[in-house]
Amino acid sequence: MAFTGCKKEAILYKIEGNVSDQISNGPIPNLNIQLFQRVYQSGVLNNNYTYLTEVTADDNGNYAFEFERTLIYDIKLVIEDTKYYTKEVIIEQQDLSTEDVNMVNLGVEAKGWLKMILNNNYVSPDEQLNIFKTGFKTDCEACCTIGNTTFYETGDTSLTCAVTGGSTVKIVYGEATAGSSFTEEIECVRFDTTFFTINY
């Protein structure tokens, strides 16, 4: 008498969501989303993320993953694109459901730069130009130091800082010995450099 075994149906995780611009909230089509995981091996957590799969968002910015449940510790969704700052979202296993679709919307920031052109009308020994920056990017290679930047006895120069494209940043600047300061709010374009000139 022969017995045939039934193969146990795999338990799946399903993740769906929408990719949008973090400033305008508009959907972003055709961005690539990668899925990584950290797993337990022989009961020990492997601290390195391993690549699992990837998908491309559709014309409305929607995406969906479906993958088999394993002994995962957490997963990581990654968006990397030349026009947008890298986005990473980590989800622990305990926050993932196998019964319902896991909704994970991803807001990304468009790249942009602000170039401040500093025109010094007269260089003096006691000169000190202070520029205090608010709303700038702080977590990237092209980012400027947050807060105040000081220039001492400097001729014409420039300062370029990374910003979120489409956002508005604020600078407060002034020459210390003059005792005056000026406040400017600057709207930064997406995917390009915005220029602002300071004459002092």
- The pLDDT tens digits of the residues spanning 141-162 come to 889 988 999 988 777 899 999 9
- Structure confidence at residue 179 (pLDDT): 78
Q: Half-sphere exposure (CA, 13 Å, Cβ side) for 191?
A: 5
What does pTM read for this prediction? 0.86
Domains of the chain and CATH, by start: 12-108 (2.60.40.1120), 111-199 (2.60.40)
* pLDDT tens digits, one per residue of 34-51: 999 999 988 889 899 999
Contact partners, residue 29, CB within 8 Å, separation at least 6: 57, 58, 59, 60, 61
Cα atoms in the Cβ-side hemisphere of radius 13 Å centred on 162:
15
Question: According to the model, what pLDDT value does residue 183 have?
Answer: 97
CA dist 145 and 196 (Å) reads 18
List, for the chain, all residue ranges whose pLDDT scores fall below the cut of 70. 1-8
- How many Cα atoms within 13 Å fall on the side-chain side of residue 151? 22
